[in-house]
Each structure stands twice: as C-alpha cells, then as structure tokens.
Amino acid sequence: MPRTLRRCEWARTDLSIAYHDEQWGVPTHDDRVLFEFLILEGAQAGLSWETILKKRENYRKAFAHFDPAKVARFTQRDFNRLVKDAGIVRNRLKIESAIDNAKAFLKVQEEFGSFDAFIWRFVEGRPILNRWNSLREIPAKTAVSDAMSKALKRRGFRFVGSTICYAYMQAMGLVNDHTVGCFRRQEVSSARGGRLAEGAGRRAGVDPLIDAK
C-alpha cells in the first residue's frame, strides 16, 4: 500500500489539502501574489480560511486578477458592484480596505522598488524555519508580525493586525510553520526564494526605513 503522507493538522479537506501541498509556506516574491494574499488575509478576518479558498477564484475576477494598479483606480461604481457580488465577502469595510490597500501598496512599490523588497526586510530576507510539533504550539502572532502590522498601518494599510500579518507571513513563506513530521516542511525549506534561519521567534533586524517611530 502507498505510504500515507503526514500533513499539518489543519489540512483536512480537498481544498485545504491542495493549498497546503502546493502553496502554503513557499517563499513568495511575486508582487501580484503578495498583493493577492494581503487582500485575502484581510477578507478572512472573522471567517474560516476554507471560506476564502472557496471564493478565491471569484476574488480574482472581482479584483482585476489582483493587479494593484487597476484596483487602486476602482471607482464608486466598482465599489457598488463589489458589495453586490455574492462570490466574495460582501463586507463594506473589507471592500473599502482592499481598494485603499491597493493605493498604499503602490506607494510602497514606489518607495522600495517593490513590495517584495519591503516585506521581506522584516525577516532579513530569509524565511524563519520554526520547529513546531503540533498545531496548538504555533503562535497567533509574534514580535515580527507586530512590527509588520505597525509599519503597514503607518503606511495607510487596513485590516493588517498582527494576527493577520502572521497568517500572511505563513502563507507567503516568510515563516515556515509546517509542523515537524509534515512532508512539506523539508520540501518548503528546500524551495528557492530565500535562505533559511532556524529558530522560532527570531526577531528581524531593525530597518530604519521600516521601524522608525
């Protein structure tokens, strides 16, 4: 019989298993994907990630395939369209924040050359490789996600609390939180996109452009 693969405990449905096996935790440096997950993680607040995964394709269609330049130009007419779109989370504040975040995203790109260059500074350009034995050991936020949240809020981003930022870090591979025993832990560690730094809770170095009060 074929060997059953061991996965992180949260990957239980067909949709979450596919996401876990193919994307979660892989170091990501594509600005469009980084913008996509910034919007999706904000939309997930108060909901299950499974709900967002089910709506992901609808979000792509509704938000111009996550082109931040196009989303930043959304008008009141676009907003009215979105609040009536049953394929996404029709929360007015979350929709407004997605448009505002697109504008803030463009400003970060202008300042740093790319959003990727900005966001990866929080982990000194290297994914943090944690060593958790079970899901209950994984924190909801860390000092790094606290710093990221504060920096994003200062730049006008919304729905970017520390817990959302940590989920974003996990999804985009800034931190590898695949548990010990999960077959993806080593595969993700070997993925191209950044060097690995062992140790849970390593604090990113202070960057004066990011952490200045």
User: H-type helices in 45-196, by residue range?
Assistant: 49-62, 68-72, 76-83, 92-112, 115-119, 143-154, 162-172, 183-189
The yes-or-no answer on residue 168 being catalytic is: no
24, 41, 120, 132: the active-site residue: 41
Number of H helices, E strands in the chain: 11, 3
Place of tokens 């369209």: 81
The yes-or-no answer on residue 120 being catalytic is: no
Place of tokens 């958790």: 132
DSSP string, 109-137: HHHHSSHHHHHGGGGTTS-EE---SSGGG
The yes-or-no answer on residue 59 being catalytic is: no
10, 49, 50, 96: the active-site residue: 49
Structure-derived torsion over alpha carbons of residues 187, 193, 196, 199, reported in degrees to the nearest 10: -90
19, 24, 59, 120: the active-site residue: 19
Q: Give the residue numbers annotated as catalytic, written as ranges.
A: 19, 41, 49
